[in-house]
Amino acid sequence: MAQKLLEVKDLHTVFHTEDGTVEAVSGVNFEVYQGETLGIVGESGCGKSVTSLSIMRLLPKQTGEITKGEIIFKGKDILKLPENEMRHVRGKEIAMIFQEPMTALNPVYTAGEQVAEMVELHLGMSKKDAYNYAVEMFRKVGIPMPEKRVYNYPHELSGGLRQRVMIAMALSCNPSLLIADEPTTALDVTIQAQVLDLMRKLLKEYNSSLIMITHDLGVVAEIAQRVAVMYAGQIVEYGDVVTVFKNPSHPYTIGLMKAIPRPDVEVERLISIEGNVPDLFHMPKGCRFNNRCPYAIDKCMEMPPLFEVEPGHLSRCWRYKEIKDLLKKEDGVDVGRG
């Protein structure tokens, strides 16, 4: 088996707000192996972005705080590193790609300068070498006319090109781990296909690992080998992509899969999950999904642990063993629809 690159252990992240302290991430555990892609999928407010900011230690200083847990990267707990050492990890060892390239890029520097700055800082290149390197990186991520594009400011580039600049920047120091937070959500579908294709190619070339954070199950299915489904600050299901999609064992995962219309299969009617995502101030007691779950029983007033459904496949549901039979009885619908 490939080497374990990152291990997140019992991560708790809180935010101190005017109305009190809320826990956005409550005890998240996962690992990322060398060269693999882990998808973290969930709806807005489930804590997927806060998890990634915690790994990068980029939480807002005044309000965000990691209260518990370890983040072991290459055998070292990076939560214990002093800020100046963390700065060498950030960008060089772990790089991040953000959703909105327009706000993530600095509008007063050219695209080339921003890539060059990374390699000057982390690899100690001279200004001239760094510029040539930036051109090389631009070519690698498929930006046409890279010699010219390095002199463009972000606002002069299209959304797809900006996201390519972000990818060039993230990959410029050859990091072992990339974290991409909804990198294709702001892009059109034909451009999304280009960017995903490019990322897949480059990950292979660099043998880097990727944490892909997204709300789109389609994107996860296309790019990830393993997936963590998050709901209300916790991982509710975790495992190999094929297993989780074919044999989902948490009612929330099942609900999500039934709720989204598919491009390749027609259904008469979507089956929606009733109600809304709970807000962080008013978490339901016990299992956090119990107020929306069609299979909730009395036992669900207690918080379920992550059960092992099969080796490597975890589900945070008391009824994980019966859930398949319950579904079959209910409507004869094939859950994975496969």
Residues of the shown chain interacting with other proteins in the complex, contacts defined by CB under 8 A = 43-44, 144, 158, 160-161, 188-194, 196-197, 215-222, 241-242, 245-246, 255-264, 266-274, 276-277, 336-338
Minimum CB separation of residue 30 from other proteins in Å reads 18
Our CB check for other proteins shows the closer of 119 and 157 to be 157
Residue given tokens 């965000």 in the structure block: 64
Report CA-CA distances (Å) from 207 to 203, 221, 231, 313.
Answer: 5, 20, 30, 25
Give the tokens for residue 291: 């107020």
b/e map of 181-194 (b: 16 or more CB within 10 Å)?
bbbbebbeeebbeb
As beta bridge partners, residue 227 has 39, 239
Minimum CB separation of residue 282 from other proteins in Å reads 13
Our CB check for other proteins shows the closer of 86 and 242 to be 242
| Contact between residue 58 and residue 49 where contact means Cβ atoms under 8 Å apart | no
Distance CA 186, CA 191 (A): 10
Our CB check for other proteins shows the closer of 95 and 220 to be 220
Report CA-CA distances (Å) from 107 to 103, 115, 152.
Answer: 8, 13, 10
Our CB check for other proteins shows the closer of 133 and 252 to be 252
Minimum CB separation of residue 156 from other proteins in Å reads 12
Minimum CB separation of residue 67 from other proteins in Å reads 27
Our CB check for other proteins shows the closer of 175 and 251 to be 251
Give the tokens for residue 215: 């709300």
Minimum CB separation of residue 265 from other proteins in Å reads 9
Distance CA 54, CA 25 (A): 9
Our CB check for other proteins shows the closer of 85 and 197 to be 197
As beta bridge partners, residue 73 has 6, 76
Report CA-CA distances (Å) from 89 to 26, 35, 147, 204.
Answer: 25, 18, 29, 22
Minimum CB separation of residue 158 from other proteins in Å reads 5
As beta bridge partners, residue 41 has 214, 229
| Contact between residue 213 and residue 49 where contact means Cβ atoms under 8 Å apart | yes
Distance CA 72, CA 53 (A): 15
Our CB check for other proteins shows the closer of 121 and 198 to be 198
Residue given tokens 């953000």 in the structure block: 98
Minimum CB separation of residue 283 from other proteins in Å reads 16
Minimum CB separation of residue 225 from other proteins in Å reads 9
Minimum CB separation of residue 247 from other proteins in Å reads 12
Q: Which of 174, 178, 180 is nearest to 209 (CA)?
A: 178
Our CB check for other proteins shows the closer of 197 and 302 to be 197
Our CB check for other proteins shows the closer of 43 and 65 to be 43
| Contact between residue 133 and residue 116 where contact means Cβ atoms under 8 Å apart | yes
Residue given tokens 């451009």 in the structure block: 191
